[in-house]
Amino acid sequence: MSAIPTTPLAERMRPQTFDGYVGQSHLVAPGAVLRTMIDSGNIASFILWGPPGVGKTTLARIIANRLERQFFPLSAINSGVKDVREVIEKARSQRFFNSQPPILFIDEIHRFSKAQQDSLLGAVEDGTVILVGATTENPSFEVISPLLSRCQVYVLKSLTSVDLQELLDRILQQDVYLKTRKVEMQETEALFRFSGGDARKLINIIDILVRTYGENDTIVINNDIVKERLQENIALYDKNGEQHYDIISAFIKSLRGSDPNAAVYYLARMLAGGEDPLFIARRMVILSSEDIGLANPNALLMANTCFDAVHKIGMPEARIILSQTAVYLATSPKSNGTYMAIETAAALVAETGDLPVPLHLRNAPTKLMKELGYHKDYKYAHDYSGNFIDLEYLPEQISSTTLYNPGNNPKENAIREVLRKMWEKYKY
């Protein structure tokens, strides 16, 4: 019996052609949209968007092999503008009259800054390179508009149980090492559940399991063995992938929905998965204004103090502070009044543009400005009873527009009454 190869199973099983590629049939099956473009030989720049482990990098390499194009891979994690420019210059220097442009593959392109993405524009536009980007984030938010407009976006999906079974069969039948071993596959439920639609996780789990057996043992795989032998070897929470966003979304929605039990549960899930405690604290600072606001102004103070304390103390003690803050925010009265106020105001600004500031609100540092009426008729609020005087503060075109609507809670009900007495022109 030969020894386990030093090359990881994931690398040994990396497919070189579409025949060995599992999943994404909506894109790469014969006649599918991406496959049709590749088969034509005339490809344009595109972005592959999907969760981790679904074959974005592998697909890019297969396309380059199929088209016999030079392949320049870069990772946005450790590459910068200098690296991009070097690749572009190399592509230009090797360009001949009838030569096809090489493929520039950028993994995790969403991590590129605006300046880094800007550096790609010229070469993509003039066809010096064909850009293939890979991202786990929505490119509409993470890729600059000029670059996005020059790329088609293809969405990759998590692998189904059928896809995972196909991949498993191929691993056992085709891997140079595993096809020589006796493998007894009794159950796959836990194997597929822990994989979570991620081909890379499935392959890594199998690699881990195989290495727990002796060279002459029968490799037995069932639900209990998978649970027992994985232990801490594989994270069930991918803090860089789709589940990261699912769990933080559930956490925030539980806080917003005033359920401290669910909030603490998802908090524990994140911490067990190795999530950055400061990321969690930062999101609670945002929520304290977005979803609680003036219903409980102390929520922002509490969340900000939590962020500072977590930064100073660190784990594992920081979990106690995070829990206290999560429960406090979950049990606080809720209001999105101030959040909606700025959203409504932003929409109004986008619609009406740069309306002129009323003359009486403008500074008048020069004689000419005073002659033009700047600052005229301005009334200093502190000179009047209650530190208030009815004065027009909005531009004339949007006078009396109500942007802040207090929430229905004790504190904001009191604010509403004060505003109602002061401002007859606004709707309170």
Domains and CATH numbers, the chain: 24-155 (3.40.50.300), 161-230 (1.10.8.60), 242-330 (1.20.272.10), 353-422 (no CATH)
Two tokens at 119?
């550096």
Q: Kindly provide the b/e burial profile for residues 48-83, where b requires at least 16 CB atoms within 10 angstroms of the residue's own CB.
A: bbbbbbbbbbbbbbbbbebbebbebbbebeebeeeb
CA gap 91, 76 in Å, rounded: 19
Q: Is 28 exposed, middle or buried (0-12, 13-18, 19+ CB in 10 A)?
A: buried
Helix%, strand%, coil% for the chain, nearest 5: 55, 5, 40
176: tokens are 């140079």
Q: What is the pLDDT along the chain (428 residues), one digit of tens a residue?
A: 567 777 888 888 888 888 888 888 898 888 888 888 888 888 889 999 888 888 888 899 999 888 888 888 888 777 778 888 888 888 888 776 567 888 889 888 887 878 788 888 888 888 888 889 998 888 887 888 888 888 888 999 888 889 899 999 988 888 888 888 888 888 888 888 878 788 888 888 888 888 888 878 888 888 888 887 776 444 444 555 555 677 888 899 999 999 999 999 999 988 887 778 888 999 999 999 999 999 999 999 999 999 999 988 888 889 999 999 999 999 999 999 999 999 999 899 888 888 888 888 888 888 888 888 888 888 988 988 989 989 888 898 999 899 898 989 999 999 999 998 999 888 87
CA of 304: how far to CAs of 213, 283, 289, in Å?
50, 10, 11
Tell me the chain's radius of gyration from C-alpha atoms: 29
- The token duo for 165 is 């079974």
| Cα separation, 276 vs 272, whole angstroms | 11
Q: Which helix (H) or strand (E) holds 347?
A: helix 337-352
CA angle, 212 as apex, 206 and 215 as ends, to 5°? 100
